Amino acid sequence: MHAMVLTRLHGDLEWTERAERQPGPGEIRVKVAACGVCRTDLHVVDGELPDPKVPIVPGHEVVGRVDAVGAGVDGLTVGERVGVPWLAHTCGVCPYCHGGHENLCDHPLFTGYNRDGGFATATIADARYAFPLGENGDDVALAPLLCAGLIGWRSLVMAGEGQRVGLYGFGAAAHIVAQVAKWQGRSVFAFTRPGDLASQAFARSLGAAWAGASDEAPPEPLDAAIIFATPGELVPLALKAVRKGGRVVCAGIHMSDIPSFPYGLLWEERQLVSVANLTRRDGLDFLSLAPKVGIVTHTTPYPLDQANQALSDLRAGRFEGAAVLVPQC
Ligand SMILES: [Zn+2]
Ligand SMILES: [Zn+2]
């Protein structure tokens, strides 16, 4: 098998040949058909997440087919198409696992962060955390659903049921969430980097009621806002944009420091919360909803060995929607 391996933080991924491993008990081996590129992969490469593990194969939006099954695996068979998401393993015994909050597990493993992921021709996953994907939909089109879609969905649920939803940072996650929110009958307000007219036009093309720069006020107060972009400066801007009692959800795994702001922005029962990881329930809920919504993902495919280019294009905002690595491109 081949993998794009991060051998030192801040470095380039290296095209590496590795021996094909047999899946252990409870594991499946997945022949990768497509793997989305997520902003979290950039945070992994940049060493912005705690306790980085190197060498590591990034990638946690994996679509592929089971090609070997370890002992004791239930419900997944060779040839079946599956998705391997960010949540790779949980302990099952901590208070969070017991309380239905496995996304907050005290001893988790995450795909492409502390367990090798999908920037490869094959990957090994704990079968209990993989999702059966069925046969509908194209591999490349499905890949962004595995993180941008799932985390976006968890964030939208966390945002509550308000009618007017703001999305800060209109990338892979927001372009999916916008379609779900619109399908639910809500109005989407898209905020991009000032001057990023292409992303604003992209948001309008997906049905956003309004699109503008992140430092602009929306035309009416928002019920909730979700921040997908990393600058901490967006937090006070989003608080300013939501109504009394409104909620701001920080959906990223990493943000730059939040500047101090007047208490008046939080006053009147505005809420500021974050979303961390996903539960398997989120995945099952979202993946069953996605076909009903008719989500169309906008993807830019790259050959697997061009992973560094895909990461650098993501960093520079050179495409709309999501980049997806394809081993056989
Ligand atoms: Zn746990
Ligand atoms: Zn991700």
182 Cα–ligand 2 center, Å = 22
Q: Which ligand is nearest to the CA of 103?
A: 1
152 Cα–ligand 1 center, Å = 23
Q: Give 180-189 contacts, CB < 8 A, sequence gap 24+.
A: 180/152, 180/153, 180/156, 180/289, 180/293, 180/295, 181/156, 182/206, 182/207, 183/292, 183/293, 183/294, 186/162, 187/163, 189/164, 189/165, 189/218, 189/219, 189/222, 189/241
**CA dist list (Å): 46 to 11, 121, 166:** 8, 23, 28
61 Cα–ligand 2 center, Å = 7
User: HSE (CB half, 13 Å, CA atoms) of 181?
Assistant: 36
Using one digit for the tens of pLDDT, what is the confidence trace for 69-80? 999 999 999 999
145 Cα–ligand 2 center, Å = 10
220 Cα–ligand 2 center, Å = 31
Contacts of 309 (CB under 8 A, 6+ apart): 302
89 Cα–ligand 1 center, Å = 9
pLDDT at residue 328, rounded to an integer: 78
Q: Which ligand is nearest to the CA of 104?
A: 1
82 Cα–ligand 2 center, Å = 17
pLDDT at residue 85, rounded to an integer: 98
172 Cα–ligand 1 center, Å = 29
Q: Which ligand is nearest to the CA of 314?
A: 2
Q: Do 286 and 156 meet the contact criterion of CB atoms below 8 Å apart? A: no
> Nearest 5 degrees, angle CA 186-CA 191-CA 194?
160
92 Cα–ligand 1 center, Å = 5
φ, ψ (nearest 5 deg) of residue 115: -145, 135
Mean of the per-residue pLDDT values of the chain: 97
Using one digit for the tens of pLDDT, what is the confidence trace for 44-89? 999 999 998 999 999 999 999 999 999 999 999 999 999 999 999 9
pLDDT at residue 247, rounded to an integer: 98
100 Cα–ligand 1 center, Å = 10
Q: Which ligand is nearest to the CA of 277?
A: 2
244 Cα–ligand 2 center, Å = 31
Q: Which ligand is nearest to the CA of 228?
A: 2
Rounded to two decimals, what is the model's pTM? 0.95
b/e per residue 94-115 (b: at least 16 CB within 10 A): bebbeeeebbebeebbbbbbbb
CA-based nearest residue to 191, from 149, 241, 265 = 241
233 Cα–ligand 2 center, Å = 22
90 Cα–ligand 1 center, Å = 5
3 Cα–ligand 1 center, Å = 29
125 Cα–ligand 1 center, Å = 18
39 Cα–ligand 2 center, Å = 6
Q: Which ligand is nearest to the CA of 58?
A: 2
pLDDT at residue 329, rounded to an integer: 58
Using one digit for the tens of pLDDT, what is the confidence trace for 132-147? 999 999 999 999 999 9
Using one digit for the tens of pLDDT, what is the confidence trace for 231-283? 999 999 999 999 999 999 999 999 999 999 999 999 999 999 999 999 999 99
Q: Is 280 helix (H, G, I), strand (E, B) or coil?
A: helix
